[in-house]
Homo-oligomer: A and B are copies of this chain.
Amino acid sequence: MFYSKHLNRAVDNLKSNPQTSLVSVSTFAAAFCILGLFMVLYVNLDSLLATWSRQVQIIVYLNDDLKKPQLKKLEALFAGNSEVSSVEYVSRQAAWEKFKNTFSAETEFLETLAFNPLPASYNLRFKPGPRRVENIRRFAEELRERPEVESLEYGEKWISRFEKFMVFLKVFLLAIGGLLGLGLIFIISNTIRLSALSRKNEIELMLMIGATHRYIKTPFLLEGVLQGAAGAVLALLAAKGVHAYMSFQFSDSIAKIARDADFLFIGPSGILILFGSSVAVGWLGSYISISKVLNMVNES
């Protein structure tokens, strides 16, 4: 009952300054849309990283002319690691066949090559788990020391680079979110200040005829919250639109990059965070300005 009256007054305020409200809501929407799209980017890169790291395997290239016992020793080592899920042996011959199959279409002269330049190898796959990449890294370093091993590949460079990039992206996201948040608090506080100033006489009169401070402030706080909420809803709709468009346009390329990963949208918790922070920003901005205006009017 108390709030429905105040809500009416807040809506009246919004309506009585439609252009300013529109400017502030759309600035809100634009800013939160940008933030939302960055979050979409982050969510997807994160899921991509998960998918890829799920596919990480160690390829252990072997020295030529290893004896059976040496191979057995290595295999025992693999079996001793509880993280390893599968071991595949690729002989020199098999490697050469595969290589030729891959490239024969393009260069015929490989056929005539007299000897096989490729080494034999083991392909190790790993069980999923939280410290997966770390475990793989440790095991790879252990294997590298073995005399049987010629060299070793497990895409460590790009994985760690990608991980660093994700950290950077997270920091960047927080920084830009903080900056946009400050800017938006400034903008909302300005809008509410103008709304309050345009009602300065009304506020003064309310004080004079015995209204409580809470009674005076509440509609302005609601006004700020409404603007924040409206901006967030618009932003989420716009971001969802962009997301849908991109899914549609680039579904092929996405499928290529990450076969089993969809192009994701921000999850429910992300949506809640966006919505919650926009409401908080709206509330804070209006709280600051209405308090200032109230003090100013109440001065003398």
- A residues bordering B, Cβ < 8 Å? 19-20, 22-23, 26-27, 107-109, 112-115, 117, 183, 186-187, 189-190, 193-194, 197-198
Minimum CB–CB distance from A180 to chain B (whole Å) comes to: 11
Select from chain B the residue with minimum beta-carbon distance to A107: B117
In this complex, what residue of B is CB-closest to A21?
A: B190
Assuming the contacts A27-B27, A198-B197, asked whether A20 and B114 have C-beta atoms less than 8 A apart, the reply is no
Listed A/B pairs (26) with beta-carbon separation below 8 Å = A19-B186, A19-B189, A19-B190, A19-B193, A20-B190, A20-B194, A22-B186, A22-B190, A23-B186, A23-B187, A23-B190, A26-B183, A27-B27, A107-B117, A108-B117, A109-B113, A109-B114, A109-B115, A109-B117, A112-B113, A112-B114, A112-B115, A113-B113, A194-B194, A197-B198, A198-B198
User: What are the residues of chain B within 8 A of A186 when measuring CB–CB?
Assistant: 19, 22-23
Other CB < 8 Å A-B pairs besides A19-B189, A23-B190, A198-B198, 16 of them? A19-B186, A19-B190, A19-B193, A20-B194, A22-B190, A23-B187, A26-B183, A27-B27, A109-B113, A109-B114, A109-B115, A112-B113, A112-B114, A112-B115, A113-B113, A197-B198
Least CB distance from A229 to B in Å reads 20
Q: CA–CA, A194 to B22, complex, Å?
A: 13
Which chain B residues border A112 with CB–CB below 8 Å? 113-115
Distance in angstroms from A251 CB to nearest chain B CB is 21
The 3 closest A-B pairs by CB, nearest first: A19-B190, A109-B117, A109-B113
Instruction: Report the minimal beta-carbon distance from A103 to chain B, rounded to whole angstroms.
Output: 11
Least CB distance from A30 to B in Å reads 9
